[in-house]
């Protein structure tokens, strides 16, 4: 399949170019916040009918979500993916227009912001992480679609009929690994968590939904990494298949399992 060659710039206002990638971040945040507001309004879903915050508080918290994603995502990329370059060129850390964001860092940044906010408020921190888990998949889906539009983070060469010839990826078709991730980490994981929150009522056991997200995200990311090319300046870490994405996802997988065990132990106690 030929690459659709969508212009990565959605529109321009004078010298200011607005990219689909930036719009995907904003849309993911605000659609996610909107979905979260619907969740907290349904108090019967939560333990003791008590969500971690009100709809108005969540709307106000959206600003801190933006800060957590941008700061955490950028610092995560700096630390995890190219520390030597940024140590030699520290001003490049501020050059966000050149790209370079880490989902793992962005997730950590938002989690820290949520924990600080809820501890100050005296609310249940695990319920807050559950709320983030329910909403984050929307941003993951839109972000991976934006990666596809940018023609970046593509996969290895494939003979599958849906292989795409990416600009800069040579003449051979490659796995559209961005769309694999968007489908698994975004759409499928959203539906799985939705089933558990609304049918199994796991929000009444704080930490369970966050654990499901951790397991689902990590398993999906590790699986797709077998088809996705690693960053050129890092390559494979070992064995000809181990990537940085796999290594960073493993602690999330372990934390997800631990959260579910903790939540279910507390529930039975």
As annotated, the binding site includes 144
Q: Which residues pair with 242 in a beta bridge?
A: 238
Instruction: Label residue 38 exposed, middle or buried (CB < 10 Å: 0-12, 13-18, 19+).
Output: exposed
> Which phi and psi angles does 157 have, rounded to 5°?
-65, 140
Residue pair 97/5 in contact by the 8 Å Cβ criterion: no
Give the whole-angstrom CA distance, residue 265 versus residue 269.
Answer: 6
Handedness of CA 185, 146, 128, 119 (dihedral sign): positive
Residue pair 200/130 in contact by the 8 Å Cβ criterion: no
Give the whole-angstrom CA distance, residue 8 versus residue 147.
Answer: 9
């Amino acid at each position: 399949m030929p690459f659709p060659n969508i212009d990565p710039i959605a529109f321009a206002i004078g010298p200011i170019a607005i990219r689909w990638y930036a719009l995907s971040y904003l849309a993911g945040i605000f659609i996610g916040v909107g979905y979260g507001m619907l969740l907290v309004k349904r108090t019967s879903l939560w333990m003791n009918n008590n969500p971690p915050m009100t709809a108005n508080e969540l709307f106000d918290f959206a600003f801190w979500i933006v800060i957590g994603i941008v700061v955490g995502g950028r610092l995560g990329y700096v630390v995890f993916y190219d520390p030597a370059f940024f140590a030699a060129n520290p001003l490049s850390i501020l050059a966000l227009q050149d790209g370079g964001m880490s989902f793992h860092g962005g997730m950590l940044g938002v989690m820290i912001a949520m924990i600080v906010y809820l501890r100050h408020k005296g609310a249940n921190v695990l319920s807050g992480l559950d709320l983030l888990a329910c909403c984050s998949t929307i941003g993951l889906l839109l972000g991976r679609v934006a990666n596809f539009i940018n023609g970046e983070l593509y996969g290895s060469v494939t003979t599958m009929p849906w292989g795409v010839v990416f600009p800069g990826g040579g003449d051979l078709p490659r796995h559209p690994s961005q769309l694999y991730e968007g489908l698994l980490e975004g759409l499928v994981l959203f539906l799985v968590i939705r089933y558990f929150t609304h049918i199994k009522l796991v929000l009444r056991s704080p930490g369970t939904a966050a654990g499901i997200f951790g397991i689902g995200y990590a398993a999906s990311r590790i699986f797709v990494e077998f088809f996705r090319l690693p960053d050129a300046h890092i390559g494979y870490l070992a064995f000809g298949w181990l990537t940085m994405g796999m290594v960073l996802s493993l602690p999330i997988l372990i934390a997800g399992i631990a959260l579910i065990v903790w939540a279910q132990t507390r529930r039975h106690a």
